[in-house]
Structure 1
């Protein structure tokens, strides 16, 4: 069976701040296919998804407890 990667989803602490980084900092254009809680960026055959870390942890049924020194977006 041929494996294919279509989407990589990152759980982010602050969705708006992360969106600003990718749009204004990296000049990436988001897809219109996203939702209120999911931002998608087309990357030439795959998508990068940004999703609130708390909601991603709930979906995965794991605790949202990143290390103290990991305070990115």
Structure 2
């Protein structure tokens, strides 16, 4: 019997657990992400990110759905970051300032990296870390999507 082909790997949605849905929805709308599928009200929020979807869901309900404990909620590094790739160092600086103006907090001011890039970090209202970066080998096209070298 022939083995069926493996599924094609893809990431379609990143879901963040949040403490206050309204606050988090307002933050991500202020950053400029377009909210979609609004019929769910404040139960869950979906944002178009260009090539995938960012979803917000109440922290305790997300933990319950994944059958994981919802406490203690980590205040430290969680082992993952989201990224906002930019076209220039000036854009990195502007995005970091904008995120803070929208209610985020600056984790690390932008600086040159040891790999030849330029990067800084902000956190959303729930502490989810975002890397704002210009990185060699990662081009941000006119379509604002990331294009990787082979």
Q: Shorter-chain TM-score: what band?
A: 0.7 to 0.9
What is the rounded CA distance, in whole Å, between the counterparts of 2:66 and 2:26 in structure 1?
Answer: 26
Calculate the TM-score normalised by the size of structure 1. 0.81
What SS does the aligned partner of 2:33 have? coil
Of structures 1 and 2, the one with the larger relative CO (CA 8 A, separation 6+) is 1
Task: Give the match for residue 19 of structure 2.
Answer: 13
Stretches of structure 2 lacking an aligned partner (at least 5 in a row):
1-5, 77-124, 127-150
* RMSD between superposed Cα atoms in Å: 1.7
Matches within 5 A, 1:42-57: 42-57=48-63
Displacement of 1:35 in angstroms is 1.5
C-alpha deviation, 1:33, in angstroms: 5.4
Summarize deviations over 1:4-42 as a string: whole Å, max 9, x none.
111110011111100010112x02210125613110011
Number of the residue aligned with 1:31:
36
Does the Cα contact within 8 Å between 2:33 and 2:49 map onto a contact in 1?
A: no
Bigger fraction of residues in strand: 2
Q: Could you list the runs of 4 or more consecutive aligned residues of structure 1 that deviate by over 3 angstroms after TM superposition?
A: none
User: What's the TM-score once normalised by structure 2's chain length?
Assistant: 0.42
For structure 1, which runs of at least 5 residues remain unmatched after alignment?
A: none
Higher CA-based Rg: 2
